[in-house]
Structure 1
Amino acid sequence: MESQPRGGTRWKRFGLVMVPSVAATAAIGIAFAQGALAASFAVSGQQFKVTAEVLDGTGFTQYGAQDVKHNGERIPVAVSSFETATITGLCQSVVVPTPLGNITVKITAGNGDRKVQAQNLFIDINNLDADATFTNIDIGVSADHTTKGPGPAQGDDYVPGSFAQQADGALLTNLKQTAWATSAGTFKLPGLSLSLHRGKNECY
């Protein structure tokens, strides 16, 4: 599977203890790249919130890394990746400060039988709550030797040989998460709806 490089300046002392309950997540970003995030990618400095009723994914991998804000600040993240993902009841929200006060941008998609479909999906998260079921999960593998899903790419900001986990499949329900960035090779959003709200009107 081809993907563009991800990451930024290497963070050599990143130590993230990951457990299965934080092993997978769903998100939609406002902008997507083909494959993974580019090495020159810098996050805006604003987190966004995401909820989903169900995420059913195959080819799952997770490893510790970092994102870099536009001002150079380094942010520790858990990168969760899926070869494929089907998402039901997706909601994303981000609160944007403006001269008129806070404005919430909210996006929904994939309701009913029309589910969101993603391939080569990467999500950089720092918080997740969900009910999770994993199929054939391997915990404590090397980030350099993951085989079940998209792993670290050249230029990724992770520690070679560091902790990672992977699974053939991941089923997540009642997802609530905060994330810094998302990218996907393809992202199909049936029933996409975007709305603006004065003040805070987040997904949760």
Structure 2
Amino acid sequence: MEGQTAGRTRLGRFAAITVPATVAAGGLGLAMVQGMVGAAISSADGFSLQSKAITSDSLKVRPGQAEATTGADETVYAETGGTTNANGITVTAQVPLPVLGTAELHINSTDPTIGLGSVILNAKTLAMTDGENGADGGSSGAVLDGVALGVAQSEAGFAANPGTGYVADGFALTAGSSTLNNLDAQTYAIQLEGLEVEDLSLGVSLLPSN
């Protein structure tokens, strides 16, 4: 079943409908260099990702990994087009350390025009919170142009990657120009084609043991 909207569509929340397997290897990997090509952040236990706004020239969304290992966490798999920018970004993750216990890693930038290239995101939840205003000064939640609901994943252009939850005739959503205001995601893995940022701060704090 497929439908095409006319004009702009606002969604307050993306929800997940499947469960994850081992989405990423244990621990947290990070490569961030000004103007670099490629960056990856992953954590088997998940991490939080926030931004005032993510803008892209295109967006496609489908269910993520379908095989469960533990629990019943929901996942959503999203890909953006080749021109994606963020208005500020904050990443928080807990990383187990031998002997010391657990460290909390904080990555933050207030740059309003962070260049990300294309983005692949596998998340437990992907939500646009209801702030008073979005980054555009008027809208909150998501603002999507040219939305198609119920597109087959093969028609939406998803690669048939094994182990990612891809189903050729499964459900997908596609959109053109997209703005995700007040983004708050609980994420397992994110891949960036590139990273261009004016300011970046990293901090680590050791959490008290129970």
Taking structure 2 as the reference length, the TM-score comes to 0.67
SS in 2 for 1:50: strand
Q: In the alignment, does 2:156 pair up with 1:153?
A: no
5+ residue gaps, structure 1: 1-18, 24-28, 38-42
Deviations 1:38-97 (A, max 9, x none): xxxxx64220101111111211001113188xxx94876211111121101100010112
Q: In the alignment, does 2:191 pair up with 1:180?
A: no
Aligned partner of 2:179 among 155, 167, 171 = 171
Q: In the alignment, does 2:206 pair up with 1:198?
A: yes
5+ residue gaps, structure 2: 1-9, 16-28, 129-140
- C-alpha displacement of 1:136: 1.0
In structure 2, C-alpha distance between the alignment counterparts of 1:63 and 1:167, rounded to whole Å: 12
Q: In the alignment, does 2:99 pair up with 1:107?
A: no
- For the 8 Å contact 2:39–2:195, the answer to whether it is kept is no
Residue 49 (structure 1) aligns with: 48
SS in 1 for 2:199: coil
In structure 1, C-alpha distance between the alignment counterparts of 2:204 and 2:176, rounded to whole Å: 38
SS in 2 for 1:108: strand
The size of the alignment, in residue pairs, is: 163
Residue 139 (structure 1) aligns with: 149
In structure 2, C-alpha distance between the alignment counterparts of 1:196 and 1:35, rounded to whole Å: 23
Residue 93 (structure 2) aligns with: 94
Higher Cα Rg, which structure? 2
Instruction: Let me know the Cα RMSD of the aligned residues.
Output: 3.1
Q: Structure 2 vs 1, CA of residues 36 and 188 (structure 1 numbering), >3 Å: closer, same or farther?
A: closer
The runs of at least 4 consecutive aligned structure 1 residues that moved more than 6 Å come to 34-37
Identity of aligned residues (%): 20
Task: Give the 5 Å matches for 1:9-88.
Answer: 20=11, 21-22=13-14, 30-31=30-31, 44-66=43-65, 73=69, 77-83=75-81, 84-88=83-87
Deviations 1:7-27 (A, max 9, x none): xxxxxxxxxxxx94218xxxx
